[in-house]
A = this chain, B = another copy of it.
Amino acid sequence: MTDGRFYPEMATSGNRGDVGVTVGLNAIVVAVTGDVPRILTVRRPLEIADHPLDSNEAETAPEHSGDGALGGREGVPFGPLDPVADRTLELGLRRWLAEQTGIEVGYLEQLYTFGDRGRVAPVGNRFLSVAYLALTREVEVSGSGAPIWAPWYSYLPWEDWRDGPPAILGKHIFPALQDWIASASTDRSWAQRHERAQIAFGLGGTPWNRNRVLDRYELLFEIGLVAEAVPGTDSASTHGVEIGRPMALDHRRIVATALERLRGKLSYRPVAFELLPGTFTLLRLQQVVEALSGERLHKQNFRRLVEQNRLVERTGDIEVRTGGRPAELFRFRREVLRERPAIGVVIQRGRLATETHNG
Binding site for B on A (CB under 8 A): 1-15, 17, 19-24, 45, 47-48, 61, 63-64, 66, 68-73, 78-89, 92, 96, 110, 112-113, 115-117, 119-123, 125-128, 130, 195, 198-199, 206-207, 209, 211-212, 229-231, 248-249, 268, 337-339, 341-343, 348-349
Q: How far is the CA of A199 from the CA of B341 in the complex (A)?
A: 7
Contact between chains at A87 and B116 (CB < 8 Å): yes
Contact between chains at A10 and B348 (CB < 8 Å): no
With both beta carbons as reference points, the residue of chain B lying nearest to A116 in the complex is identified as B88
Complex partner residue of A20 from B20, B69, B120, B211, CB under 8 angstroms: B20
Complex partner residue of A121 from B8, B268, B349, CB under 8 angstroms: B8
Question: Which secondary structure characterizes the binding site on chain A?
Answer: loop
- Report B-chain residues with C-beta under 8 Å of the C-beta of A115: 23, 81, 88-89, 130
Complex partner residue of A88 from B23, B45, B117, CB under 8 angstroms: B117
- Report B-chain residues with C-beta under 8 Å of the C-beta of A66: 7, 10
Integer count of this chain's copies in the complex: 2
Contact between chains at B89 and A7 (CB < 8 Å): no
Given A4-B71, A4-B249, A21-B81: 8 more A-B contacts, CB < 8 Å = A1-B64, A3-B231, A4-B231, A6-B127, A9-B123, A89-B113, A89-B115, A209-B342
- Report B-chain residues with C-beta under 8 Å of the C-beta of A230: 6
Q: How far is the CA of A70 from the CA of B8 in the complex (A)?
A: 11
Complex partner residue of A47 from B7, B13, B61, B68, CB under 8 angstroms: B13
